[in-house]
Structure 1
Amino acid sequence: MLERSVIIVAGGRGLRMGQDIPKQFIPVGGRPVLMHTMEQFYGYNESMEIILVLPEDQFSYWKALCRKYDFQVRHQLIRGGETRYHSVKNGLDAVSGQMVAVHDGVRPFVTPETIERCFHTAQKYGAVIPVVELVDSIRKVDGNNSEMRPRYAYRSIQTPQVFRTSVLKKAYELPFSPDFTDDASVVEAAGYEITLVEGNRENVKITTPFDLVVAEAFLKGR
């Protein structure tokens, strides 16, 4: 098996949460969201290289949380950048694995099965993202006008997005563009094809107070 790394990007400020602390540090089930996320990867593979990218001004707060909760998952702490693109680029400099995943720090419910699907498929194809089918009807909005779109033709994108490390590093040689909304968009702009695999429905990104309520309910049910 090729050596595997994960870059966990957690640069949120919690503005949509309406709270004073960044969303990745908000407690869910008695502990910060970010700790749940990191434990999913540690549980999947204890030897995996975990690289956590945070804004530098959050380092001391994170370290204090690790002491408070006796958090023992081994990881490297890397300074974040101006945008997500720059944060991932900084994290890539620390990667030693031949395969690398990039994951949102506020997606604490990714399953080991999804992680394995992504890594296994990326070994063959080089660039993989997990997706789920849409359940709501969708419409394209243009000013005051809107038009129905067939939901079967679209997918909702999740993380971890997994790549051969050589592919992702080559892609991140491209200059920054505001069109880079995730790692797949960078890799695609560099000329590589993206392969889709099945994600897991509960792998939601916690960004609003409602998401917190759902997360607490999910943890209690689990």
Structure 2
Amino acid sequence: MQKYAIIVAGGSGSRMKSEIPKQFLELNGQPILMHTLRAFYFDSTELILVLPEPQFAYWISLCEKHSFIIPYKLVKGGETRFHSVKNGLDSIEGTEGLVAIHDGVRPIIKKEVIDNAYHLAAKHGSAIASVPLKDSIRVMNKEGNSHVDRVNYRLIQTPQTFQLQLIKKAFEAGFRQSFTDDASVFEFSGQKVHLFEGDYRNIKITTPEDLQIAETFLAL
């Protein structure tokens, strides 16, 4: 079964306190985004990179600078992440196969997690990486806040992987503010979301501290 990977990168550098969009910041000598794309480049997976169009030229210049030659399709991003993912899905001809949708700034992703995602999506229709909470949590309410049992909650990661036909149909519903990720779009279409064990090292690089942590993980 044909495998696709849509890598979505539309972030800015605001929380990184950088003028350079975070996906282009260097991690161990190469832009974060190159590490992410390389992680999905196996088993004839077709890579689709979704970027804001104004960033195309800069990205291409980085590829030339770092001699980055992994093949991928470059697709224009949209107004929101939902629209960017939809553009990526629309760039895939046909409806047969499996597609993993992954944050461009999650470069520390193990091949075993990706393999498991595709395998489970083929079986269940969807496979969403998640991890149990380590910290205690409280919910805010009118009275202030109250304790909730962390056992009943999961932190959601990417890749979020689906049977292509099902996720394409789900995205036909149009954008809603309540969509926080691809799994929420899938669930809204009436499909069941299947969770599987992710990896605590699969962090989303958002702040300078995250970049330091990622460098440590790469060194392991």
Q: TM-score range by the shorter chain?
A: over 0.9
- For residue 15 of structure 1, give the secondary structure of its aligned residue in structure 2: coil
- Structure 2: how far apart are the matches of 1:46 and 1:169? 22
| Counterparts of residues 61-100 of structure 1 (less than 5 Å) | 61-96=58-93, 98-100=97-99
| Counterparts of residues 182-221 of structure 1 (less than 5 Å) | 182-220=181-219
2:174 is the alignment partner of 1:147: no
Question: Displaced runs of 4+ in structure 1, greater than 3 A?
Answer: none
> For this pair of structures, how many residues does the alignment match?
218
- Structure 1: how far apart are the matches of 2:140 and 2:28? 38
**Structure 2 contact 108–217 (Cα < 8 Å) conserved:** no
- For residue 172 of structure 1, give the secondary structure of its aligned residue in structure 2: helix
| TM-superposed deviation, 1:94 | 1.5
- Structure 2: how far apart are the matches of 1:35 and 1:183? 23
- For residue 100 of structure 1, give the secondary structure of its aligned residue in structure 2: strand
- Structure 1: how far apart are the matches of 2:194 and 2:34? 29
| TM-superposed deviation, 1:200 | 1.0
| TM-superposed deviation, 1:144 | 6.9
- For residue 14 of structure 1, give the secondary structure of its aligned residue in structure 2: coil
Q: Deviations over 1:163-194 (max 9, x none)?
A: 00000100000121011110000000000001
Alpha carbons of 1:144 and 1:205: their partners in 2 closer, same or farther (altered >3 Å)? Answer: farther
**More displaced, 50-59 or 126-135?**
126-135
- Structure 1: how far apart are the matches of 2:141 and 2:32? 36
2:51 is the alignment partner of 1:54: yes
- Structure 1: how far apart are the matches of 2:182 and 2:137? 24
Identity of aligned residues (%): 51
**Structure 2 contact 138–145 (Cα < 8 Å) conserved:** yes
Q: Deviations over 1:111-161 (max 9, x none)?
A: 111101110011011111011111011111236711111111101101010
| TM-superposed deviation, 1:16 | 0.8
- For residue 106 of structure 1, give the secondary structure of its aligned residue in structure 2: coil
- Structure 2: how far apart are the matches of 1:214 and 1:144? 37
- Structure 1: how far apart are the matches of 2:2 and 2:168? 16
**Structure 2 contact 108–218 (Cα < 8 Å) conserved:** no
| TM-superposed deviation, 1:47 | 1.4
- Structure 2: how far apart are the matches of 1:148 and 1:164? 37
Structure 2 spans left out of the alignment, 5+ residues: none
- For residue 173 of structure 1, give the secondary structure of its aligned residue in structure 2: helix
- Structure 2: how far apart are the matches of 1:144 and 1:209? 35
- For residue 168 of structure 1, give the secondary structure of its aligned residue in structure 2: helix
Partner of 1:130: 129
2:173 is the alignment partner of 1:174: yes
Could you tell me which amino acid in structure 2 is paired with residue 74 of structure 1?
Answer: P
Structure 1 spans left out of the alignment, 5+ residues: none
